[in-house]
Amino acid sequence: MSRAATRFQCSETTARKGLQDLADYHGVVLHPHFDEVWVAHPFSAAPTTCIVSSGEHKWWGNCAWCSLGVMQLAGRNATLKTRLGAIGDEVSITIENGELLDKDYVIHFPIPMRNSWDNVIYTCSVMLLFRNEAEVDEWCSTRGIPKGDVRPIDQIWKFATEWYGRHADVDWTKWSLHDAVEMFRRHNLTGPTWSIGGDAERF
């Protein structure tokens, strides 16, 4: 907290309030017992099964979707290493010059978007990569987790490049509910999983 106060030339009390306001805005996720950033989407400050590398740099992504966002922010030249279903074979996904080279995978979204912030850490933990929908079916049956929506990784890469495209901007603001709905529509993300509502200002 002292580093944040020094960086922004304010008191620690002001810095702490600002961080809490950012968490309330869904801009970050704080550790439940400390004033520390746990998640700043698409990045995780805690170890995960998704490791993105670009050059000499490495980051943890929160989930398969977030990891594609990290790859976008890394300059669209990056590699993701993860395990299928978080427990199966280790695989690598490569982006070169903004082009996805490894397209024979799918991403499973078991939690409806309208419920994603009920426990966003859990939501991200089950948003995983698989080879195909049959693997998703087997994983859901074995793990006792209801099946959600399954999408080709190429579709989610294109979506992630827009969703996370300005997350590094100094004047970044979070997407509104209307923004999110429109972006889902543009990328043909339809069905119950992608239906969000309510009157919250931000998704």
106-109 β-sheet, strand order: 128-130, 106-109, 149-152
Task: Based on the fold, state whether residues 7 and 107 are members of the same structural domain.
Answer: no
The mean pLDDT of 118-138, rounded to a whole number, is 98
The mean pLDDT of 197-203, rounded to a whole number, is 63
Residue range(s) defining the domain that contains residue 70: 41-194
Task: Give the number of domains in the chain.
Answer: 2
Residue 78 lies in a domain: yes
Task: Based on the fold, state whether residues 107 and 32 are members of the same structural domain.
Answer: no
The whole-angstrom separation of Cα 144 and Cα 173 is 37
Residue 25 lies in a domain: yes
pTM (2 d.p.) = 0.92
The mean pLDDT of 108-128, rounded to a whole number, is 96
Residue 201 lies in a domain: no
Task: Based on the fold, state whether residues 71 and 107 are members of the same structural domain.
Answer: yes
Task: Based on the fold, state whether residues 67 and 112 are members of the same structural domain.
Answer: yes
Largest Cα–Cα separation, the chain? 54
Q: DSSP string of 114-162?
A: GGTTTSHHHHHHT-EEESSHHHHHHHHHHHT----EEEEHHHHHHHHHH
Task: Based on the fold, state whether residues 168 and 126 are members of the same structural domain.
Answer: yes
Tell me the pLDDT tens digit for each residue of 82-117. 999 999 999 999 999 999 999 999 999 999 999 999
CB atoms within 10 A of CB 203: 20
Half-sphere exposure of 14 (CA within 13 A, CB side): 8
Task: Based on the fold, state whether residues 52 and 137 are members of the same structural domain.
Answer: yes
Residue 200 lies in a domain: no
Residue 202 lies in a domain: no
User: How many residues does this entry show for the chain?
Assistant: 203
The whole-angstrom separation of Cα 66 and Cα 139 is 21
Tell me the pLDDT tens digit for each residue of 152-174. 999 999 999 999 999 999 889 98
Task: Based on the fold, state whether residues 53 and 2 are members of the same structural domain.
Answer: no
Task: Based on the fold, state whether residues 29 and 91 are members of the same structural domain.
Answer: no
Task: Based on the fold, state whether residues 60 and 131 are members of the same structural domain.
Answer: yes
Q: Identify the sign of the CA torsion 154, 67, 50, 134.
A: negative
Task: Kindly report the CATH number assigned to the domain that includes residue 90.
Answer: 3.30.450.410
